[in-house]
Structure 1
């Protein structure tokens, strides 16, 4: 009888401990707009699992890809509303709350991905990220290289003048307008999830995105020309909501930060490797991949638009361009 009672007591204790553990677990939502095949998703899933492990199961993070919780503007709004806890999103959207941080989208500000990654570790970035955090309470935990943006179209583009009158889709963010408008194109904002159909039905004749995105979203199926304009060296931020960030202990903040930085580095490595191979892959598949007169594009941008036109600070642009 004693053994039976001891066994029942032990079982009850285990059930109680399990219930307490379940109550202590915090469920979080991590959202983005990218496909499940892209590293922005696969490494987010890795990070979610890794945070769970390093916090001994105190956090359970579910990742929602491909605009499942809304378009990019929606998930940014979700950080404020508390409907999402973590997102991956560009600084162009962060600039809606703190304009200066969008300066990184001014065309030809970065030489290459190495320059971008140097910026992500710089005092300029720390100052701009702090400005965004002061304005929103949201915390930028990591920066991932998204890719260098190129232009796809229904016609061959080799110089800035070739874009005159071209109907091109750009994100609904001011910075993306600079290069197309400097070249005389007609810009149309269309949500990311709707771009393929817009290209297919002729609503627009062109769009711009990194090669990895052109592949993942299959834009090459409805656009047979890729111009290597390289006008924006793009990145994504891993953003933690004010509500979540302020609720974390210092120890948990360190865990979240370390894991998110590791995930960003992993995704960056994958993007860099894939991007390097895609030019030849596209050419082998019969897609026209054209080198352009990049100096001509940059000259037109510098002559016809200014960072101040978009609410950016010229000194920030110059400080970033000077980074080595």
Structure 2
């Protein structure tokens, strides 16, 4: 009886392997299309959105439509905390959010988005490749969030005003628009400003009418929103680096075949490289255009602002008490190796 069963199994294996038709049947039965929503707050025409649309198209093409990622920009679907909750709940969902939102699950992750850390895009990318960050990724995956990629950036944030700012004393009494985030509020306060939480769509009129004295944002933001029409100075504080991570449920990820996982990883990696290259290009291009439009750029006392903002890391009780020194040690090692 055992001999007969073995003969039947061998014959079946030969039939499956003897032609393309058999391979196609197995593939069609075992790999079912998976539709996934990707939610992000960035608008349709922003660089990061365009790069992720290209990535999703490539993944769809390379997987023959079996991984179908639909990109929903501009907050059409839940964003911020609600975005991450979809992932944690195991939905067919990919969230694109700032690293600070991972802090709700692994507090120290938020510190990687803290003030005055990175001097360049390369430093941030090197930080994401450290064992320290790998450990945080492992911790957050245990909470139901797999970090597919954290290398997507949208630029350094600077002070945008009608006044040259070089040191903290220059910011005294200035009302600066910030997002409604405690990290932003604490940071701008430590730098000497009076932070004012204001919806971004109201910011242009707010600066124009003197409700606020300026805002903080990137070169790309200043140009694309035409804020340069009401604020003619950018002080290069680099107080934050705008970054996002790409997050998925480990449960959903495990439904992918190894080949699908490899394709998704490869295309997200390639998209991050393309995004960085284009960001560097646009930084230079928009700086030149802004200068032609009458905007003045100036350097600041980075050492002073770094010293003042260091205390921000002590204002979040859930963060490790030595988190700032831990991150700085990693950055010192990165800088020494460059």
Tell me what 1:58 maps to: 66
1:101 matched to 2:106? The reply is: no
RMSD (Å) for aligned C-alpha atoms = 2.7
Alignment counterpart, residue 245 of structure 1, candidates 228, 253, 257 = 253
Alignment counterpart, residue 93 of structure 2, candidates 75, 85, 89 = 85
The CA distance in 2 between the partners of 1:253 and 1:293, in whole Å, is 45
The range that moved more, 314-323 or 264-273, is: 314-323
Larger Rg over CA atoms: 2
1:314 matched to 2:320? The reply is: no
Tell me what 1:10 maps to: none
Q: Give the conservation status (yes or no) of the 8 Å contact 2:152–2:243.
A: yes
The CA distance in 2 between the partners of 1:82 and 1:187, in whole Å, is 37
Alignment counterpart, residue 262 of structure 2, candidates 254, 259, 268 = 254
Query: Displacement of 1:119 after TM fit?
Result: 0.9
Alignment counterpart, residue 268 of structure 1, candidates 249, 266, 276 = 276
1:133 matched to 2:164? The reply is: no
Tell me what 2:301 maps to: 293
Query: Displacement of 1:274 after TM fit?
Result: 1.0
Gap regions ≥5 residues in structure 2: 1-24
Secondary structure of the residue that 1:139 maps to in structure 2?
Answer: strand
The CA distance in 2 between the partners of 1:196 and 1:245, in whole Å, is 42
Q: For each residue in 1:167-212, what CA deviation from the matched residue of structure 2 results, as whole angstroms up to 9, or x when unmatched?
A: 2232333333343111232223445566445545555332222212
1:83/1:223 CA distance change after superposition, 3 Å: farther
The CA distance in 2 between the partners of 1:182 and 1:301, in whole Å, is 6
Query: Displacement of 1:219 after TM fit?
Result: 2.8
The CA distance in 1 between the partners of 2:199 and 2:134, in whole Å, is 30
Q: Give the conservation status (yes or no) of the 8 Å contact 1:163–1:180.
A: no
Q: Give the conservation status (yes or no) of the 8 Å contact 1:36–1:42.
A: yes
The CA distance in 1 between the partners of 2:226 and 2:253, in whole Å, is 36
The CA distance in 1 between the partners of 2:264 and 2:43, in whole Å, is 23
1:236 matched to 2:236? The reply is: no
Tell me what 1:116 maps to: 124
The number of equivalent residue pairs is 303
Alignment counterpart, residue 69 of structure 1, candidates 57, 77, 82 = 77
Q: Give the conservation status (yes or no) of the 8 Å contact 1:139–1:239.
A: yes
Query: Displacement of 1:262 after TM fit?
Result: 0.9
